[in-house]
């Protein structure tokens, strides 16, 4: 198994909260995407915050074999980190990482809570892809180029419209897009079509399903479809794009997650006591 990069930020002072957080990134990036804002922000508020880079991503091993990795490989990466922690973590997954988290939850029902941010639906990306092709054909074309020819074949300014809302400063958006990387062809095929019998998490695990009003990749309709399958209600954040953790209003997202976790885990701990 390739080595897995794990970025960790710990509270600087005072005791840490009982449950650690484990962040799982989406396609074409790495654990660094969480360390721009989220990891230090949550650490300042008492959370031990971890973000892994899936095999072939970031500083993890296996880049030379990236093209052949599948969903089961990424699930195993998260499980290897999850099982190495002293306490079962809260899982937080974005985009493709959201589907990885869904599969991990099915394997680890003792997970205390989970957050899905602009997550790939359990049934796959077919509907999202058709919507993108119809509503944003230029972005769809750029995404197809990146999927087939790699990150060097696309225009960072154009492809950034897939990731961010129009509120993101252009220079900042381009900077982030130049940090992106290639993705496994196998997993794009696995999750890009229709999954008729999706793996669903246990309904005993509290899950916050979040989406973005101006998400051009996972539109609010697909976020709501995910929430329905998981027997919960979706929260759609106004004015934001797909890259919730990097948007100018990223702190709004972080505060909502922090408040939800405080209420969810606090209630569970009181009940257990």
How is the chain split into domains, by residue range? 5-272
pLDDT of 66 > 60? The answer is yes
pLDDT of 86 > 90? The answer is yes
Side-by-side strand order, sheet with 114-117? 5-9, 49-53, 21-24, 90-94, 114-117, 207-212, 234-237
Give residue 249's pLDDT: 97
- 147 band by pLDDT with thresholds 50, 70 and 90: low
pLDDT tens per residue across span 200-246: 999 999 999 999 999 999 999 999 999 999 999 999 999 999 999 99
Q: What is the pTM of this model?
A: 0.93
Give residue 130's pLDDT: 81
Residue of 41, 43, 50, 36 whose CA lies nearest to 10: 43
> In a 10 Å sphere around its CB, with 0-12 CB exposed, 13-18 middle and 19+ buried, how is residue 162 labelled?
buried
Give residue 268's pLDDT: 45
- Cα–Cα distance between 142 and 201 in angstroms, integer? 33
- 270 band by pLDDT with thresholds 50, 70 and 90: very low
Mean pLDDT of 118-128: 91
Rg over alpha carbons for the chain, rounded to the nearest Å, is: 17
pLDDT of 113 > 80? The answer is yes
Mean pLDDT of 89-118: 98
CATH fold, domain 5-272, is Rossmann fold (3.40.50)
- Per mean pLDDT, which range of 7-11, 152-156, 242-246 is the poorest? 152-156
- 117 band by pLDDT with thresholds 50, 70 and 90: very high
Contact 256, 237 (CB under 8 A): yes
Mean pLDDT of 68-91: 97
- As a whole number of angstroms, the longest Cα–Cα distance in the chain is 56
pLDDT tens per residue across span 156-181: 777 778 889 999 999 999 899 889 88
pLDDT tens per residue across span 189-202: 999 889 989 999 99
- 149 band by pLDDT with thresholds 50, 70 and 90: low
Tell me the pLDDT of the chain averaged across its residues: 91
Mean pLDDT of 9-27: 92
């Amino acid at each position: 198994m390739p080595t897995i990069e794990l970025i960790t930020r710990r509270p600087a002072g005072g005791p840490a909260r009982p449950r650690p957080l484990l962040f799982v990134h989406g396609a074409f990036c790495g654990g660094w995407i969480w360390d721009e804002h989220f990891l230090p922000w949550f650490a300042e508020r008492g959370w031990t915050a971890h973000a892994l880079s899936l095999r072939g991503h970031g500083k993890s091993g296996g880049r030379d074999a990236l093209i052949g990795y599948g969903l089961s490989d990424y699930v195993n990466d998260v499980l290897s980190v999850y099982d190495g922690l002293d306490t079962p973590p809260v899982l937080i997954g974005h985009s493709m990482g959201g589907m990885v988290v869904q599969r991990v939850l099915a394997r680890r029902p003792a997970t205390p809570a989970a957050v899905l941010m602009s997550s790939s639906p359990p049934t796959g990306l077919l509907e999202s892809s058709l919507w993108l092709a119809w509503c944003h054909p230029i972005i769809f074309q750029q995404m197809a180029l990146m999927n087939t020819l790699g990150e060097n074949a696309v225009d960072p300014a154009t492809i950034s419209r897939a990731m961010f809302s129009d509120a993101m400063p252009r220079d900042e958006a381009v900077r982030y897009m130049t940090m992106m990387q290639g993705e496994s062809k196998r997993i794009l095929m696995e999750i890009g079509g229709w999954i008729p019998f999706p793996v669903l998490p246990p309904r005993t695990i509290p899950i916050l399903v979040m989406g973005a009003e101006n998400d051009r990749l996972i539109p609010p309709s697909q976020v709501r479809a995910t929430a329905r399958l998981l027997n919960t209600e979706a929260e759609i954040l106004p004015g934001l794009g797909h890259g919730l953790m990097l948007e100018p209003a990223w702190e709004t997202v972080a505060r909502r997650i922090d408040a939800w976790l405080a209420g969810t885990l606090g209630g569970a701990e009181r009940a257990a006591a």
